[in-house]
Amino acid sequence: MQAIENKHGQSLRFNPVTSQWMRYVAIDQKSFILRVGLNNKLEQQEIVIQRLNYLPTFIALFFVTSIGVFFFVTSLNNRLKIRYQKLKPRVQAKTSELLLLQEFGKFPQILLYHDAGRISVIRSSRNLAEIKILWGVEEWFEFGHYPLDACWDLRKGYVHPQGPYDKLIRCNHDVNEQYNTICIPLVAQGETLGIMHIRRDNICDEFDDNDRQMATSLAEPVSLAIANLQLRDNLRNQAKENGRDRVELSDQCIVHAVVSNNC
């Protein structure tokens, strides 16, 4: 009927004679109608073959995508490692500051009594003092570190108070000379580990002998806290070095054993 109406037609029917699904195609040739039956299995096989022809393309696209994702993840991982290495010193420094602040939990009233303060730790190279803890105003020190000879308490070896009128013996690290300040050396086990700087904005509120005694008593636990932190860092670094040495020694033993067996 489709061939008569549209000059061609097709249908999918089950052939009870062959017990197979057949696709019948009919074409109207005016004087006669050409009718052909095709086994549906052959049609399905042709569809499968056509789909298999696209399989290499899909596999190639899959591998290209996988390689691209691999390089992207590797690049991202490398960037994260570089970022971590850059942030690691800052994290360690902040961790040391937090540990110091935990140690200072016993003295909040004494610290808050003053208008500003700085705690500097001497570097292992013994050439600079680096500010680790600060509170109060921020424009007191020009930089975050200063040479050791810039502070008079390190030159003298004991507490050094100074006021607005002390011009000759004023510390070079103090860029603002309009306030009363006091510098206290932080000493533990006979070694100077750092300096504590305390400032009062009131010019008339000078540091007297009682203030010096209070500053000295305050510096003792701070010095012990810094010494404990440095000891922890040294032990941690030593443990890492020992771990690397054990790994290297183990590798050497393995290589030696392999060489001996080959011989």
CATH number at residue 215: 3.30.450.40
Same domain, 174 and 220: yes
Does residue 63 fall inside a structural domain?
yes
Domain boundary (73, 97, 129) is at: 73
Does residue 42 fall inside a structural domain?
yes
Same domain, 42 and 114: no
Same domain, 133 and 179: yes
Same domain, 146 and 52: no
Mean pLDDT for 88-115 is: 59
Q: Given the structure tokens 């691209």, which residue do they identify? A: 68
Same domain, 183 and 122: yes
Same domain, 55 and 121: no
Does residue 208 fall inside a structural domain?
yes
- Phi and psi of 42, rounded to 5°? -65, -40
Same domain, 111 and 211: yes
Same domain, 21 and 68: yes
CB atoms within 10 A of CB 114: 21
Does residue 90 fall inside a structural domain?
no
pLDDT band for position 109 (cuts 50, 70, 90): very low
Does residue 261 fall inside a structural domain?
no
Mean pLDDT for 157-176 is: 77
The pLDDT of residue 259? 46
Domain boundary (51, 73, 95) is at: 73
Residue 55: give the domain boundaries: 1-73
User: Which residues, other chains included, contact 129 with Cβ-Cβ below 8 Å and sequence gap of 6+?
Assistant: 120, 121, 122, 123, 145, 146, 147, 148, 151, 154, 194, 195
Mean pLDDT for 151-173 is: 80
258, pLDDT greater than 50: no
pLDDT band for position 50 (cuts 50, 70, 90): confident
Which residue type does 161 have?
A: P
High-pLDDT (> 90) share of the chain, %: 2
Q: The whole model's pTM is what?
A: 0.52
Does residue 84 fall inside a structural domain?
no
The pLDDT of residue 59? 85
Do 129 and 195 meet the contact criterion of CB atoms below 8 Å apart? yes
Query: How many domains, in total, are found in the chain?
Result: 2
Do 129 and 153 meet the contact criterion of CB atoms below 8 Å apart? no
Same domain, 125 and 205: yes
- Quote the CA–CA distance of 59 and 68 in Å, as a whole number: 14
Altogether, the residues listed in the chain come to a count of 263
Same domain, 111 and 209: yes
Same domain, 56 and 116: no
Does residue 181 fall inside a structural domain?
yes
Does residue 98 fall inside a structural domain?
no
Same domain, 65 and 114: no
- Quote the CA–CA distance of 17 and 33 in Å, as a whole number: 22
Domain boundary (25, 52, 73) is at: 73
